[in-house]
């Protein structure tokens, strides 16, 4: 229910519009501005962040237009005056955007998404840019920690029920970026082409006169290569029934409660003793990256992850800000408090050891020229929009997913520790 015609323009803070109105009246609306999106710090104790949502932001900017419905709303509420309404009716972002490609690692101060254009056209995008990047980055960042803890075992995203119904779709996309194998969310399947999966809940077992009847119904419909949920009543009896019904070629069992480590070991032994050596064990139920790491030594074949993923595992927002850093070529910054920003349009390169391990994030003011770049260093900022138009074809979701994986490989070893710590590499300002 965004209202009319797919416009994203009202997914915006009231004050972006009043600033446009005041700047238009003052004749300052067209001053050439640079707005920079960055995180002052990583969420508490996190060692890295991962940029998520970039493609969604670019797509949302392309729909950031004020149609008759949006203009009527602004007029009726007297948010802005007639002159501003006329200006808005013609609005289409026509500036430039540069930033970190989606899936890239980021650290404090990394210039993730830089918007250049007139003040009014740039300030209007603040809320939407931050909403998407803050949400999606929080989830990709949490998901990457889980992927790293899972160490190659597949993970299934199933958290849609624990977050806003539309955020669920974005969360499923972010989880896939982070390395999750599938999602339960059908809309994410439709919108982003992500593989979806799912079989049965406890309700299905309870619906039937017996667990055996329920399993039989499921196997009758989906064949033995399905996943039977065995913990509705007694897990040992459930596994026995499951193999009796489906035979030893049963695809998988799922355990959703209890001490899943102990239960997985018992289940593995029982399945093996029943000849079901290839039946996989899927565990779910309040898993986060710590629980997943704790299950590394257990015979678990896949993890279902819900709440902790979609809520960013304790950090539901990435805390990024969108700050004006340059006006008509003049660097600007707020300077009343600890909330200071660094003035001037910036870019960044990441230094690496010859082995490929990241060493430091060098953030520099572009007007001062690029710092000396070593053989193993990498420029991080790429052009995304020029005069409002996309630069080249956007990377696919799978390319961004590989970028996440490659980024994790490039982190120094401490960077992958789940415990609280400092950023894995320092940010150096030049």
Of residues 208 through 237, those in contact with a copy of itself by CB under 8 A are 208, 213, 216-218, 220-222, 231-235
From residue 95, give the alpha-carbon distance in Å to each of 119, 135, 146.
10, 24, 37
Please state the closest distance from residue 371 (CB atom) to a copy of itself, in A. 26
For residues 299 and 316, which CB has a smaller minimum distance to a copy of itself in the complex?
Answer: 316
Burial of 90 (0-12, 13-18, 19+ CB in 10 A): exposed
Q: Which of residues 329-358 bind a copy of itself (CB under 8 A)?
A: 332-339
Q: Should residue 167 be labelled a site residue for a copy of itself when binding is judged by CB under 8 A?
A: yes
Of 21, 53, 25, 51, nearest to 123 (Cα)?
21
Binding a copy of itself by CB under 8 A: which of 153, 187, 248, 359? Answer: 187
Of 416, 318, 306, nearest to 49 (Cα)?
318
Q: Should residue 393 be labelled a site residue for a copy of itself when binding is judged by CB under 8 A?
A: no
Question: Residue holding tokens 């962040």?
Answer: 49
Please state the closest distance from residue 411 (CB atom) to a copy of itself, in A. 26
For residues 264 and 358, which CB has a smaller minimum distance to a copy of itself in the complex?
Answer: 264
Q: Should residue 179 be labelled a site residue for a copy of itself when binding is judged by CB under 8 A?
A: no
Q: Which of residues 289-308 bind a copy of itself (CB under 8 A)?
A: 307
Q: Should residue 271 be labelled a site residue for a copy of itself when binding is judged by CB under 8 A?
A: no
Binding a copy of itself by CB under 8 A: which of 324, 358, 404, 424? Answer: 324
Q: Should residue 25 be labelled a site residue for a copy of itself when binding is judged by CB under 8 A?
A: yes
Structure tokens at 98: 């540069």
Q: Should residue 274 be labelled a site residue for a copy of itself when binding is judged by CB under 8 A?
A: no
The number of residues making up the chain comes to: 430
E-only strand ranges, 231-352 = 252-255, 280-284, 302-305, 320-327, 330-331, 346-352
| Binding window for a copy of itself (CB under 8 A); candidates: 41-49, 168-176, 245-253, 419-427 | 168-176
Q: Contact letters (x/-) for a copy of itself, 117-136, by CB under 8 A?
A: --x---x--xxx-xxx-xx-
Identify the three-state secondary structure at position 58: helix
Q: Contact letters (x/-) for a copy of itself, 88-107, by CB under 8 A?
A: --------------------
For residues 21 and 300, which CB has a smaller minimum distance to a copy of itself in the complex?
Answer: 21
Q: Should residue 162 be labelled a site residue for a copy of itself when binding is judged by CB under 8 A?
A: yes
For residues 125 and 276, which CB has a smaller minimum distance to a copy of itself in the complex?
Answer: 125
Of 281, 256, 301, nearest to 154 (Cα)?
301
In sequence order, which residues have a C-beta less than 8 Å from that of residue 101 and are 6 or more positions away? 51, 54, 382, 395, 400, 403
Whole-angstrom distance, CA of residue 194 vs CA of residue 211: 32
Q: Should residue 189 be labelled a site residue for a copy of itself when binding is judged by CB under 8 A?
A: yes
Please state the closest distance from residue 208 (CB atom) to a copy of itself, in A. 6
Q: Which of residues 39-68 bind a copy of itself (CB under 8 A)?
A: 60
From residue 86, give the alpha-carbon distance in Å to each of 2, 17, 67, 81.
22, 13, 11, 9
């Amino acid at each position: 229910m965004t209202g009319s015609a797919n416009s994203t323009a009202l997914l915006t803070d009231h004050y972006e519009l009043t600033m446009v109105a005041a700047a238009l009246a003052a004749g300052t609306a067209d001053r050439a501005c640079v707005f920079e999106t960055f995180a002052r710090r990583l969420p508490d104790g996190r060692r890295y962040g991962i940029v998520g949502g970039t493609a969604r932001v670019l797509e949302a900017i392309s729909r950031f237009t004020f149609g008759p419905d949006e203009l009527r709303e602004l007029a009726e509420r007297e948010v802005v005056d007639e002159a501003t309404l006329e200006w808005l009716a013609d609005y289409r972002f026509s500036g430039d955007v540069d930033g970190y490609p989606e899936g890239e690692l980021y650290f404090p101060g990394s210039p993730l998404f830089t918007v250049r254009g007139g003040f009014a056209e740039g300030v209007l995008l603040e809320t939407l840019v931050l909403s998407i990047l803050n949400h999606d980055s929080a989830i990709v960042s949490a998901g990457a920690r889980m992927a790293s803890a899972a160490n190659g075992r597949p993970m299934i995203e199933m958290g849609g029920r624990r977050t806003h119904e539309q955020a669920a779709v974005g969360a499923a996309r972010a989880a896939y970026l982070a390395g999750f194998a599938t999602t339960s969310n059908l809309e994410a399947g439709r919108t982003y082409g992500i593989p979806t999966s799912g079989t049965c809940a406890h309700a299905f077992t309870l619906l039937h006169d017996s667990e055996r009847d329920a399993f039989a119904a499921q196997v009758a419909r989906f064949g033995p290569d399905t996943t039977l949920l065995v913990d509705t009543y007694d897990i040992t009896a459930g596994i026995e029934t499951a193999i009796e019904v489906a035979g030893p070629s049963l695809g998988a069992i799922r355990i959703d409660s209890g001490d899943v480590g102990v239960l997985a070991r018992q289940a593995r032994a029982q399945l093996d003793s029943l000849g079901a050596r290839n039946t996989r064990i899927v565990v779910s139920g309040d898993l986060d990256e710590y629980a997943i790491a704790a299950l590394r030594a257990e015979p678990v074949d896949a993890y279902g992850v819900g709440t902790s993923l979609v809520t960013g595992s304790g950090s539901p927002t990435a805390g990024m800000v969108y700050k004006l850093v340059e006006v008509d070529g003049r660097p600007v910054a707020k300077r009343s408090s600890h909330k200071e920003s660094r003035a001037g349009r910036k870019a960044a390169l990441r230094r690496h050891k010859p082995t490929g391990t990241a060493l430091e994030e060098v953030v520099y003011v572009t007007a001062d020229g690029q710092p000396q770049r070593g053989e193993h260093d990498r420029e991080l900022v790429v052009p995304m929009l020029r005069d409002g138009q996309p630069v080249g074809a956007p990377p696919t979701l799978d390319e961004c997913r590989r970028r996440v994986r490659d980024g994790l490989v490039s982190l120094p070893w401490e960077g992958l520790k789940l415990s609280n710590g400092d950023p894995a590499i320092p940010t150096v300002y030049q």
